[in-house]
A = this chain, B = another copy of it.
Amino acid sequence: MPTTLVGATVEGKPNFITIAHVGIMDLGSVSLGMAKAHYTNAGIKENGTFSVNLPSADMVKETDYCGLASGKRVDKAQLFHIFYGNLKTAPMVAECPINMECKLIKVVDFPKHDVFIGEIVTTYAEDAVLTDGAVDYGKVRPLLFTMVDQSYWMLGKRFAKAWSIGKDLNGHKST
């Protein structure tokens, strides 16, 4: 899964937490699976806003740190340059090449997790990660995560076109 830095205002201050258990809902909304013990959850519920920031692989130390240190004890916002968009309570990380500010539209309740579903209000992308005006994930260099071995991975190479390469199987026979 892509690792993200989730921003929220908690107790009146910007805070960030590392979340890789994300999801895409429909084309304009995302989910975050966040253990209820986290400090950030109350801020998302209080303000009804959050941000999803995509760090590049170069930001692995800062990103991992935001999953280690709790905002209860540490001011993680000091690690980054922060900006705000249309929603005034969704702090975003300027160092991340992609930022999405989101309005909370639903909380799905699990025994130990809140799943926050947010509508993306605005997406910001650095010019440096665009190719012909569109986001190029080869330039974003997202930080991928696997839980089983608690590891971070690079994105590899782009090698095929979707809704295209499978056309070779039109009129397929049983294998």
Report A's interface with B, CB cutoff 8 A.
1-2, 20-27, 29, 31, 33, 57, 60-69, 78-81, 106, 108, 110-113, 115, 117, 134-137, 144-170, 172-175
Contacts and interface: CB of A to CB of B under 8 A. Distances in A.
A43 to B, nearest CB: 20
A46 to B, nearest CB: 22
Contacts of A175: 78-81
- Copies of this protein in the assembly total 2
Contact of A64 (B149, B160, B173): B160
Majority SS at the chain A contact face: mixed
Contacts of A149: 134, 136-137, 158
Contact of A151 (B66, B115, B158): B158
A81 B174 CA distance: 10
A152 B62 CA distance: 28
A113 B169 CA distance: 27
B29 A25 contact: no
A26 B61 contact: no
A172 B67 CA distance: 14
A34 to B, nearest CB: 9
A162 B55 CA distance: 14
A26 B165 contact: no
Given A164-B64, A169-B62, A169-B65, A26 B151 contact: no
12 contacts: A26-B111, A27-B147, A60-B160, A62-B169, A68-B163, A135-B148, A144-B155, A146-B158, A150-B162, A152-B161, A154-B157, A155-B156
A159 B154 contact: yes
Most interface-central of A22, A57, A135, A169 (chain B CB within 10 A):
A169
